[in-house]
């Protein structure tokens, strides 16, 4: 619930560790609320005495900070928090502390070394000293990905990650996320854009009006009829080099 409004309706969902999954739906379908429920920023309510269970790695009781340490999260809300002049290197290191920038944190040489490794992997080492508010959207997004990866999470959650990216930045983003997926880190891609679904993702969950309306293998879910019903417009789906694209609306 958000205020008096029910945002998610009786969601039942299981995702295996290391699985690559896309959660696809129109704006307002409850996707971001679902992410915040997974990360325990929001909590479900008990309806008519019905038991509500959240299980993570087999446990129903978790210290929320330990839970979040097992996840890497990149979201629009997080990027807004970093509009101030925090240096790129500090953004990545702050992932060890789940903070927005560094204050009186004790940064170890091992943390510095890991941050350097992550920046090399993401191709942003030359931007390490630049404040976030001087970077392009795509460059800043890569630093947030680095922040999410620096503590070696088992799963990376990407909430509408390509918003505001131009074609060049989108190409770079796709390349980076595919490499991460192939490294063994699970990907949960939350998006309204079909082209965000990288080839490594094999399972797609469709959400509409706070409900899961379809959950299955990518090939059987991403069809003209299913996406027409999801978005409410005529859709023609085509596949190219492992990616799916929609046209006709």
- 3-class secondary-structure state, position 203: strand
Let me know whether 131 and 221 are in one domain. no
| Final residue belonging to a domain, choices 97, 119, 152 | 152
Phi, psi (5° rounding) for residue 163?
A: -55, 130
Residues 159 and 129 in one domain: no
- Amino acid 227: pLDDT: 97
Q: How far apart are CA 212 and CA 92, in angstroms?
A: 34
Which of 152, 179, 209 terminates a domain? The answer is: 152
Mean pLDDT of the chain: 90
Instruction: Examine the domain organization and report whether 24 and 93 are in the same domain.
Output: no
Domain match, 161 and 182 both: yes
CA distance 103 to 42: 27
- Structurally, the chain folds into a number of domains equal to 2
Domain containing residue 96: 81-152
- Which contiguous run of DSSP H or E holds residue 139? helix 137-149
pLDDT tens for each residue of 160-207: 999 889 999 999 999 999 999 999 999 999 999 999 999 999 999 999
Instruction: Give Cα separations from 108 to 9, 26, 94, 111, 116 (angstroms).
Output: 45, 43, 12, 5, 13
Residues 30, 7 contacting (CB under 8 angstroms): yes
Question: What residues contact residue 185 under an 8 Å CB cut-off, 6+ apart?
Answer: 18, 72, 149, 153, 154, 155, 156
3-state helix, strand, coil in the chain (%, to 5): 35, 20, 45
pLDDT, tens digit (0-9, with 9 covering 90-100), for 93-130: 999 988 888 888 899 999 999 999 999 999 999 999 99
**174, part of any domain:** yes
* CA-wise closest residue to 174 among 184, 187, 34: 187
Q: Do 88 and 134 lie in a common domain?
A: yes
pLDDT, tens digit, 9 for 90 and up, residues 206-248: 999 999 999 999 999 999 999 999 999 999 999 999 999 998 8
Which 8-state DSSP code applies to residue 102?
-
The answer to whether residue 108 is domain-embedded is yes
Same domain membership, residue 170 and residue 104: no
173: Cα within 13 Å, side-chain hemisphere: 27
What DSSP letter does each residue of 28-81 carry, written as one string? TSSHHHHHHHHTTSS-PPP-TT------BTTBS---HHHHHHTEEEE-HHHHHH
Domain final position from 132, 152, 172: 152
H or E segment and range at residue 236? strand 236-240
CATH number of the domain that residue 240 is part of? 3.40.50.300
pTM of the model: 0.91
Helices 137-149 and 167-182, packing angle to 10 deg: 10
């Amino acid at each position: 619930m958000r205020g008096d409004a029910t945002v998610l309706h009786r969601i039942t969902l299981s995702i295996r560790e290391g699985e690559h999954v896309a959660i696809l739906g129109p704006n307002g379908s409850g996707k971001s609320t679902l992410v915040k429920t997974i990360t325990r920023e929001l909590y479900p309510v008990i309806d008519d005495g019905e038991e509500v269970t959240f299980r993570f790695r087999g446990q129903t009781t978790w210290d929320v900070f330990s839970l979040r340490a097992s996840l890497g999260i990149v979201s629009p809300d997080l990027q807004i928090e970093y509009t101030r002049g925090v240096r790129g290197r500090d953004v990545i290191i702050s992932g060890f502390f789940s903070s927005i920038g560094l204050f009186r944190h004790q940064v170890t040489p091992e943390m510095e070394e890991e941050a350097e490794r992550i920046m090399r992997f993401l191709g942003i080492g030359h931007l390490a000293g630049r404040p976030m508010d001087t970077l392009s959207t795509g460059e800043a997004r890569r630093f947030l990905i680095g922040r999410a990866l620096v503590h070696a999470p088992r799963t990376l959650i990407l909430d509408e990650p390509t918003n505001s990216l131009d074609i060049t930045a989108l190409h770079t983003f796709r390349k980076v996320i595919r490499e991460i997926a192939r490294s063994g880190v699970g990907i949960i891609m939350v998006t309204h854009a079909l082209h965000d679904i990288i080839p490594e993702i094999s399972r797609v969950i469709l959400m509409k009006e706070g409900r899961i309306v379809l959950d299955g293998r990518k090939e059987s879910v991403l069809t003209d009829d299913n996406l027409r019903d999801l978005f409410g417009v005529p859709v023609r789906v085509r596949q190219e080099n492992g990616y799916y694209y929609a046209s006709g609306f």
